[in-house]
Structure 1
């Protein structure tokens, strides 16, 4: 089967994004101090996309790819605003909203105390608006559901979410987002980073093999390393 031109471009953009993440040190491999997720799984890999922002050329390149993806894939309705999910994705949401000339609103997973009257949504929105939810990354999608909740309660439609990076290994993400009618758009996945790391020799053979083992079966990798950590502590 001959790939479509957009599929080829999407793959090229994914590899470029992965290379930028590796070159800027945004990807950290540390199996001794695994990253813990809300799902209970642990990962030997960490991504800190904010490091991209320190490099003007790379920052501009990532935003150009993001805008191209949004233009090509978010076509079912005109966007009225960009919603920035609290956390590391806020600067990316700000840049995207600025380039699109759209209002920017902020949304939290939980209400703030003691100022609960501010609740979880900051910024004016109108019932019927179509919002693009922007965050730095996606694992299994459960965070997106919590961020979308106050937006839909305000009468807005959230049919699309954009992230710089998604794990690409958690099937549950489709279940979580499909129930909400949200389509996820991501510039790259761990598989793209693994391919880019191999092509650019960013990791040695041992690290490459360990990452492949995690990606192939994250639950087993979690079980093995949780048991190992418990044994070492004892």
Structure 2
């Protein structure tokens, strides 16, 4: 069972693919748990839900029974790819929301980033064979909202430090926790390029992390993109 949310930098593989490669087990024996699961709240026994995905539906149901508690409610899925991509890309979008917050931008900007972040996550997911409906569920929209909105979110907190003008190194020291979005942004962007998918928020965040653009240039890059229909083909 994989609880990891990220994309490996060197291979651009998802966690379940790495597990399969390293252990030699078949893909239908690897399950993924993902969703809006801020660890501190779960440790306190506060209500939460998640998606447990496995290509073997019976295995998903077995794991669902094992981890179902009065305060933790798991739902099943067979869309491992969608669950893993939702859990990986939301960290990058949370960085963007944190950056906007640190720059003093308002709730409209946050809502825009969350919504358009979901759109680019879905585009990548569909291009990689995921079910688009996964991204409207717990492993998609649910995880995205929690990570982008909560002060407990490490990635949002890291982004806020960047928005205040701290360097990446200074933000790392201030956050003092692993921020998966920082490590995964470039790998996710590489997947987007490989599948010919536009991911403008991810692209700007990656450029900012590598100091290729300033904060003001990053904001301008997103707002000055050519206008287009809201619902574009994947």
Which is richer in helix? 2
TM-score (norm 2): 0.30
Larger Rg: 1
TM-score (norm 1): 0.30
